[in-house]
Chains A and B, each alone.
Chain A
Amino acid sequence: MNDVILYTIITLGGIGAISAVILYFVAQKFKVFEDPRIDEVEEALPSANCGGCGYPGCRNFAEACVKTDDLSTLFCPVGGNDTMGAVASVLGMTVDAKEPQVAVLLCNGSSANRKRTSEFDSAANCTIAANTYGGDTDCTHGCLGLGECVDACGFDAMYMDKETGLPVVIEDACTACGACVEACPKDLFQLRNKGKKSKRIYVSCMNTDKGAPAKKACDVACIGCSKCFKECKYDAITMANNKAYIDYNACVLCRACVSVCPTGAIHEINFPLRKAKPAKKEGEATTKPVTKAEPKVNLVEKAKEATPKAEPKKEEAPKADEKKENNNEDKSSNNE
């Protein structure tokens, strides 16, 4: 009996010792030198592995950061300036702060604004639909509403609004990683600077058709009339392909273009309501550094707001408008 125990101990102990020796030499032999700073940098990164920086994952980005002499070309959109600052401090470099960005949808062709003309009945995938035909409305540039962007978003920052049939970006959750920009086959997403107090003005349309067919296909299309272009005093608006584009760097958020747009294609986001409470403007702005994002309300409201301007016939629209206004009032007072 004692023999058995003894032999067992000897064999197992022997195997253990030999393995340890082998492992030690193997570890020495195959030792790979790795810059310890890579780990440190990786630590500072958000570990989302979203690819928003242009590298496949956070570790690759960290390697790139360690290798480079100049951090200005590298940016982690998810972590933003704080993260980049941390990375820079690890590496003993400095980095300039970048304007935070957010993804915006450049289409407002909700089911109310855009008449459907056919029905897509294949695999529910935007790219498949876009490869097949122009889309289920007469606008061949607009959102197909099949939600590939929502699937692509790795931060749950998007959802499909059933009512409008359009995706909605939840601003607070959006990290501007650019996955939706990549995913959309119609190129309807753009990363824009978040802007002062998250206020943004942009043309929410990608329709490059001429005015008449564009307007016929969608009530809120940019028809390329150039009114905003003429109105803008800061040269922030350019016209190309029957469509206006607002440069977010040049725009001073004066909102002159918004009021002249005949179709309501220009959106203003996170501005306080104009006529209802002009006095609130400053108060809200100071007490609300990060605007509470309610894009759903905003978008719908903008759509509804735009329609009566263009087509005063519609009776329902103003009613809905009032409701939304009330909602908004409640909210802003709460915020105060």
Chain B
Amino acid sequence: MLKTFPVGGVHPPENKFSKGKKIETLPLPKTVTIPTGQHIGAPTKVVVKRGDEVKVGQLIAQAGGFVSANIHSSVSGKVKKIDEVFDSSGYRRTSIIIDVAGDEWMETIDRSDELKKDITLSKEEIVKKVSEMGIVGLGGATFPSHVKLSIPDGKKAEHLVINAVECEPYLTADHQLMMEKGEEIMVGISVLMKATGVNKAIIGIENNKPDAIEHLTKLSNNYNGIEVVALKVQYPQGGEKQLIKAVLNREVPSGGLPLDVGCVVQNVGTAFAVYEAVQKNKPLFERVVSVTGKSVKQPSNFMVRVGTSTDVLIEAAGGLPEDTGKVVSGGPMMGKALSRTDVPITKGSSGVLIFKEEESKREKINPCIRCAKCVTVCPMGLEPYLLMTVTEKQNYEKVEEERALDCIECGSCSYTCPATRPLLDYIRLGKAEVGKIIRQRNQK
């Protein structure tokens, strides 16, 4: 019996069209637009100005606090301007626009392909390095990694859980990375183990990637304390709390962090980025992005420099199909729909999905038939139908009481609702409003 989390969950069609496609490195774009906010937390301070020459890997925006991450140039060239440009959020945000000239890297970066296994840095040095190199969680939440690795006094991590679940349909970036960079990931995990002071790491992989499970299991024999756990395919297993429940059967308390049950969770892509940062001195300025969809001519996995326009990726995958109705950054269950395709790829972009017109249309909203399917599939044990109703009535006290803030926004409720009610839309609204109310309350 394969492990999985016990409550709720759905199993959407996987549609992994780009599965097994080798990671291609895209040719350098002509210009890149690097947003100065690519992570959760404090905004960054721009440290370059118009006309500056920058190299690949040069710091261009500095973290604006502890929960913040440095941003490095992904190309070499000249800073064209610093302006407000549309990013994937659909708002104008301060971005650094660089005209590409050549491909000159910082000298400090080790560009050889050689695998560097020995970990020479100490625990503190690793965390510092991770912070300097601007590593953020690459699963999509883009939470600065060094924050998770800095374990506060009085808490102790016992397990490092590596999220290699990739439970989102369509996406294959992590899968492909595991197949091609297995060794590096293993070293990266060892680095993370040293940084958090744990001697046990568990890699959770869903059973729909048997080749990756086999590959990593074979590799893990050479590394101390790393174990690969195969999991039953079930969305949203990639959620932190669900993953910990699945592999360790521990339940993160409501409002708590994984560390409360002795766990640190990192994405497998982050492990690779940590390897490159710590062992190769390479800042996070490129990542693997899947470009896929039913109508895409060549579904692919690309190694993309941060700041590259989404247009360029779509072009490389065979162009935007005629009947496109929606372009999504990220997975189909939790990704963000783009209002335009010229927005830059950021550290958190795990995929670009293209939906056909007929796929992207939402069905008419019907009255709730109280079938209780949303309650059954909610992995957090909430009652989405109720949260939607009370949010609609603006009864935010009740929304809070019914623990809307526990919602992980996995979208299982909206996915499963036979009446096609926009449950998650309203729960998000409720969460936002309750968040506002709580902030006001705390100020008083």
Contact = CB atoms under 8 A, between A and B. Distances in A.
Chains A, B in direct contact (C-beta < 8 Å): yes
Interface stretch (A126-134, A165-173, A255-263): A126-134
Contacts of A136: 339
Contact of A140 (B91, B361, B433): B91
A125 interface: yes
Interface stretch (A20-28, A116-124, A292-300, A317-325): A116-124
Contact of B428 (A121, A131, A133, A135): A131
A134 B86 CA distance: 9
B432 A127 contact: yes
A209 interface: yes
Interface in B305-345: 336-337, 339-340
Contacts of A125: 425-426, 429
B426 A128 contact: yes
Given A131-B428, A131-B432, A122 B92 contact: no
Q: Does more than half of chain A's interface fall in helix, strand or loop, or is it mixed?
A: loop
B340 A118 contact: yes
Nearest to B327: A118
Contact of B92 (A117, A121, A131, A209): A209
Nearest to B365: A123
Interface in A116-160: 117-118, 121-123, 125, 127-128, 131-136, 138, 140
B64 interface: no
A123 B425 contact: yes
Interface string A95-134: 0000000000000000000000110011101011001111
Nearest to B360: A121
A41 to B, nearest CB: 28
B84 interface: yes
B441 interface: no
A133 B425 contact: no
Contacts of A122: 362, 422, 425
A123 B92 contact: no
Interface in B389-444: 422, 425-426, 428-429, 432-433
Instruction: Give the interface residue-count category, chain B.
Output: 20 to 34
Given A121-B360, A127-B432, A134 B339 contact: yes
A14 interface: no
B90 interface: yes
Interface string A198-233: 000000000001100100000000000000000000
Nearest to A138: B86
A118 B361 contact: no
Contact of A123 (B89, B337, B422): B422
Nearest to A121: B362
Question: Chain A interface: which size bin?
Answer: 10 to 19
Interface in B49-73: none
A216 B22 CA distance: 41
A134 B425 contact: no
Interface string A239-276: 00000000000000000000000000000000000000
B contact patch SS: mixed
B432 A117 contact: no
Contacts of B360: 121
B53 to A, nearest CB: 26
Interface in B340-388: 340, 360-362, 365
Given A117-B339, A117-B340, A121-B362, A134 B426 contact: no
Contacts of A138: 86
A209 B83 CA distance: 11
Interface centre among A123, A128, A135 (most CB of B within 10 A): A123
A299 B60 CA distance: 46
A135 B90 contact: yes
Nearest to B90: A133
Interface string A25-56: 00000000000000000000000000000000
Nearest to A127: B429
B92 A128 contact: no
A128 B361 CA distance: 18
Given A128-B428, A131-B429, A133-B339, A121 B89 contact: no
Looking at A132, A135, A136, which has the most chain B CB atoms within 10 Å of its CB?
Answer: A132
A31 to B, nearest CB: 32
Indicate the member of A134, A136, A138, A209 with the most B CB atoms within 10 Å. A134
Nearest to B361: A121
A123 B426 contact: yes
Contacts of A117: 339-340
A118 B429 contact: no
Nearest to B85: A213
A98 B340 CA distance: 48
Contacts of A118: 339-340
A120 to B, nearest CB: 9
Contacts of B84: 209-210, 213
B422 A133 contact: no
B335 to A, nearest CB: 12
A121 B84 CA distance: 26
Contacts of B336: 133
B362 A134 contact: no
A117 B84 CA distance: 18
Contacts of A131: 428-429, 432
Contacts of B340: 117-118
Contacts of B429: 125, 127-128, 131
A140 B422 contact: no
B89 A134 contact: yes
Residue of B90, B91, B362 ringed by the most chain A CB atoms within 10 A: B90
Given A118-B339, A122-B425, A210-B84, 6 more contacts: A118-B340, A123-B365, A127-B433, A128-B425, A134-B92, A140-B92
6 contacts: A118-B340, A122-B422, A128-B428, A131-B428, A133-B336, A134-B89
User: What 7 pairs between A and B have smallest CB-CB spacing?
Assistant: A133-B90, A118-B339, A134-B90, A123-B422, A123-B425, A134-B91, A122-B425
